[in-house]
């Protein structure tokens, strides 16, 4: 794949988030999933609601920041990251490997698993 997202592990993301230039986090899960377990400061773009947020996509995302996309297990976010690269000319997007579930297991057990 020429344009594929870069995988990032939960511990790597944790380190990056505490750096001087943290990435913008985009969570593509549904609202009910976000209510179960969430990371602070995410931009919530549920894939099922794309008709609502797509016209304002670049009002919600910062082209000047690195983007890390996440979902429950890393599959939906991989698809969205690939779409961003292919259709929105975003040169590089990171995908949280294993999603929020990996974050719960590897970084913060206070984030509930579901």
Q: pLDDT truncated to tens, each residue of the chain (114 aa)?
A: 568 999 999 999 999 999 999 999 999 999 999 999 999 999 999 999 999 999 999 999 998 999 999 999 999 999 999 999 999 999 999 999 999 999 999 999 999 999
**What would the two tokens of residue 15 be?**
């380190």
Contact yes or no for 55/104 (Cβ under 8 A): no
- pLDDT, residue 59, reads 96
- pLDDT, residue 98, reads 98
Report how far residue 21's alpha carbon sits from residue 105's, in angstroms, rounded to the nearest whole number: 25
Q: Which residues are catalytic?
A: 71
Q: Pick left, alpha or beta for residue 65 (phi over 0 → left; psi -120 to 50 → alpha; otherwise beta).
A: beta
pTM of the model: 0.95
**What would the two tokens of residue 54 be?**
């797509």
Contacts of 14-23 with C-beta under 8 Å, sequence gap 24+, read 14/107, 16/68, 21/65, 21/66, 23/65, 23/66, 23/67, 23/68, 23/94
Report how far residue 82's alpha carbon sits from residue 101's, in angstroms, rounded to the nearest whole number: 21
- pLDDT, residue 68, reads 98
Structural domain boundaries of the chain?
6-12+22-106
Rg (CA), the chain: 13
Fill in the DSSP letter of residue 23. Answer: P
- pLDDT, residue 2, reads 60
CATH topology of domain 6-12+22-106: Oxidized Rhodanese; domain 1 (3.40.250)
């Amino acid at each position: 794949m020429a344009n594929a997202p870069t995988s990032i592990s939960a511990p790597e993301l944790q380190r990056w988030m505490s750096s001087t230039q943290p990435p913008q986090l985009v969570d593509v899960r549904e609202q009910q999933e976000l209510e179960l377990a969430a990371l602070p400061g995410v931009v919530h773009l549920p894939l099922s609601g794309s008709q609502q947020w797509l016209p304002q996509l670049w009002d919600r995302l910062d082209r000047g920041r690195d983007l890390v996309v996440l979902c429950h297990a890393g599959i939906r976010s991989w698809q969205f990251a690939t779409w961003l690269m292919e259709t929105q000319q975003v040169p590089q997007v990171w995908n949280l490997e294993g999603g929020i579930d990996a974050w719960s297991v590897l970084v913060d057990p206070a984030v509930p698993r579901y």
